Chains A and B, each alone.
Chain A
Amino acid sequence: MAQGVAVPGTHEDHPSPKAKNYINAEAGVWSWLTTVDHKRIGLMYLVSTLIAFALGGFFAILVRLELLTPKKTFMSGHMYNQAFTLHGAIMVFLFIIPSVPGALGNFLLPIMVGAKDVAFPKLNLMSLYLYWIGALFTLSSLVLGGLETGWTFYVPYSSTTGGAVIAVTFGVFVMGFSSILTGLNFVVTIHKLRAPGMGWFRLPLFLWATYATSLVQILATPVLAITLLLLLFEKAFQIGIFDPKLGGDPVLFQHFFWFYSHPAVYIMILPGFGIASELIAVHAHRKVFGYRAIAFSSVAIALIGFLVWGHHMFVSGQSELASTIFSALTFLVAVPTGIKMFNWISTLWRSSIAWTTPMAYAAAFLFLFAIGGLTGLFCGMLGTDMHIHDTYFVVAHFHYVMMGGTVVAFVGGLHHWWPKMTGKMYSDKLGKLSALLLFVGFNATFFPQFILGSRGMPRRYYNYLDQFQPLHQFSTVGSWIIGLAFLVALYNLLDSLKNGADAPDNPWGGLSLEWQTATPPPTENFPVTPRVTHGPYDYSDDRNATGASDS
């Protein structure tokens, strides 16, 4: 059924016959809303999170537009605060945290381990519903007086300001449970539902990354839940747990918040790392260099990530000893991350690189994430963070890792698995064009922000010193190029659904299990439970064995 190496476009195989697959197995909206099929749930996550992304992007464009000039450009300061708060909150809680696990993780994880579904399919559907409910509560702020706390909800500002703080904290609280349940489902699935022969070291690296992500989701999110609950009570009943006037401690809130939200940045990036590993290995047709190192470094990042939250609080008034320890630990995270980077690059060495759309995104990812990660070190250093904390330098840092890292990897992954998910091929040319536009627009938007920040431009500023205007304008123009890039990508993918050629089962010549089943996969994923006899990236060996996979 599968072949070792295939060429995109020029594929000779017959596309799989229009057999029953997960999409046409049942029809009607109701069949989707009540489905327990992980692939359908994944697809619904995909659509939902992309809508959230577009909404978050819309607010980003508004933010950038307002910053075209100092003072008022077209909205009031009050509205600006709401715009960046909703931008941040939507991007983090509605988009980047649920997107990769919810969409790609759900779709691929059971197939990649050779199972028929996740361990708890009903729970999986419930996660989706919780996500929707939480998202609705969060978005209800749009009509309930807005939200202007920043995505970090710092007290006492958030507990004393107006707006829909209660609705949003409740919404994020609910989405937290969605995230926990997804993580729980994935961990159990990977532990218990692997097909015969699928040893831990035959798991695709995407799954190692997802596994590490799930651990963080399970271990960190409950603390966010309790933090938000306390904030909610503080706001609703003024119980005095964080309000200094009543004896509470606002710095404690920050500890609680970052105890979740720092590990959360690894919830955001680890799936991106996983995708990058897949893209590079499959499109370069090479055995991954340092498979075990990459696999274990994901887990190491997840665990060390729990110990560094205080690096967001170097100037907050936490004790100096604490700051010193948090700074030291922060540097430790860079070691496993570096290991990943070095191994990915070594995987390119003596490989056979096909310049497909996913590969173009993977290359952009390597470049952008390197910048994002390295600038994290400027923030982690005590002396320099004192200068750049809460300036645009930090804004640039986290866009390079979140947008340049995770979002670029996610969009690359979307192009990589799109044929499998939808059964259609998109235009590779347009795909590469969107990658190029995104790369150019992204750097134009966010590189100037490093300069702005290091020169003393604080973040969350509606109004700014005139001298910063040229760099802000450059950045704003860049954001339009990003917008264009996404429109091209969106057009390309949607157009493929109507006009695209039928996709073969294995357009890139991948060796992991998802490429060994029909396109789009049947509801039960595999007609018979596969028996796994080789690793996911055994390109060289596989070639000698004529490329036939025996699943």
Chain B
Amino acid sequence: MSASANDEKLSPDFHVAHHFDTADQQFDSARMGIWLFLVTEILFFGGLFCAFFIYRSWYFSSFVEAHHHLDKVMGAVNTCVLIFSSLTMALAVRSAQVNDKAKTVGFLIVTILCAFGFLVVKYFEYQHKIHDGLLPGVHFTAQGFSSPHPGTFFAVYFMMTGIHGLHVIIGIGLILWILLRAQRGDFSARYYAPVEGVGLYWHLVDLVWIYLFPLLYLVG
């Protein structure tokens, strides 16, 4: 919290908000806020993971049977896409830290493209499931399952991947926002907190998928 002597390294447009004493204090606060937010996200998904494990232990055979209806290839492709986008996101943060505006912008664009790619693949997966009558609950019309309640697996599947997909969409919005700000030259070696924050969020979205993929597609 000590007063910082290198405020002059901030971009000229940057002001310490009135209620902070120093820029360091402001950055520290922002960083802590982001981390706390990520904790709430983890708990949010945690509830879904609990539901997954509970129903899986109840209806083990039907989960195993149902998970064969997921497209492992598409899932794997999407996993690669997201991991790659996490890398580009990390590189974007790095570039912001070293004041390389062009690269920051470039990496952010790649990240957004990956996110869109992910959604496109997801769209085809969903379309396929709907076509096969694999929507959960009363909409479940698929035939030929030998175990009871295969719909439950798809209820969990659609809720988990759907909420994850929503996070991807929100992520696109956030990345777009920092992309525009980066373009405008808001960030510098002294001020890159928003890039870092959105980056952390994006890593979390990626991380959740890294759990979802093996659990839903591979293990069942």
Q: Measuring CB to CB, which residues of chain A are less than 8 angstroms from any residue of chain B?
A: 110, 115-121, 123, 180, 184-185, 187-189, 191-193, 218-223, 225-227, 229-230, 233-234, 237-241, 243, 246-249, 252, 256, 259, 524, 529
Count, chain B residues at interface, CB 8 A: 42
Contact call A241/B138, Cβ cutoff below 8 A: no
Contact call A116/B18, Cβ cutoff below 8 A: yes
Cβ contact of B51, chosen from A218, A220, A230, cutoff 8 A = A230
Give A223's nearest chain B residue, CB to CB. Answer: B47
A472 to chain B, nearest CB (A): 39
Please list 15 pairs of residues, one from A and one from B, whose beta carbons are closer than 8 Å in the complex, sorted by A's number: A118-B19, A189-B29, A219-B39, A219-B43, A222-B47, A225-B44, A227-B47, A233-B159, A237-B138, A239-B159, A241-B136, A241-B156, A241-B159, A247-B148, A256-B51
CB contact list, B34-53 vs A, under 8 A: 36-37, 39-41, 43-48, 50-51
B62 to chain A, nearest CB (A): 8
A123 and B33 CA atoms in complex are apart in Å by 11
Contact call B29/A193, Cβ cutoff below 8 A: yes
Give A122's nearest chain B residue, CB to CB. Answer: B17
Contact call A241/B155, Cβ cutoff below 8 A: yes
Q: Which residues of A contact B32 (CB under 8 A)?
A: 187-188, 191-192
Give A529's nearest chain B residue, CB to CB. Answer: B21
A4 and B39 CA atoms in complex are apart in Å by 43
Q: Given the interface contacts A187-B36, A223-B46, does A247 sit within 8 Å of B149 by beta carbon?
A: yes
Cβ contact of B58, chosen from A120, A188, A249, cutoff 8 A = A249
Give B32's nearest chain A residue, CB to CB. Answer: A188
Cβ contact of B19, chosen from A116, A123, A256, cutoff 8 A = A116
Q: Which residues of A contact B36 (CB under 8 A)?
A: 184, 187-188, 218
9 A-B pairs closest in CB distance: A247-B149, A240-B137, A117-B19, A226-B47, A116-B19, A222-B44, A222-B43, A239-B137, A239-B136
- Besides the contacts A123-B33, A240-B136, what 10 more A-B pairs have beta carbons closer than 8 Å? A116-B18, A121-B19, A188-B29, A188-B36, A229-B159, A230-B51, A240-B137, A247-B151, A249-B58, A256-B50
A225 and B46 CA atoms in complex are apart in Å by 11
Q: Given the interface contacts A184-B36, A187-B36, does A247 sit within 8 Å of B51 by beta carbon?
A: no
Contact call A192/B139, Cβ cutoff below 8 A: no
Q: Measuring CB to CB, which residues of chain B are less than 8 angstroms from any residue of chain A?
A: 1, 17-21, 25, 28-29, 32-33, 36-37, 39-41, 43-48, 50-51, 54-55, 58-59, 136-140, 148-149, 151-152, 155-156, 158-159, 163
B220 to chain A, nearest CB (A): 16
Q: Which residues of B contact A248 (CB under 8 A)?
A: 152, 155
Q: Which residues of B contact A252 (CB under 8 A)?
A: 51, 54
Contact call A247/B59, Cβ cutoff below 8 A: yes
Contact call B55/A249, Cβ cutoff below 8 A: yes
A189 and B20 CA atoms in complex are apart in Å by 10
Cβ contact of B43, chosen from A120, A223, A524, cutoff 8 A = A223
Contact call B163/A229, Cβ cutoff below 8 A: yes
Which of B1, B19, B46 is most buried by chain A, counting CB atoms within 10 A of its CB? B19
Q: Which residues of B contact A247 (CB under 8 A)?
A: 59, 148-149, 151-152
Contact call B19/A246, Cβ cutoff below 8 A: no
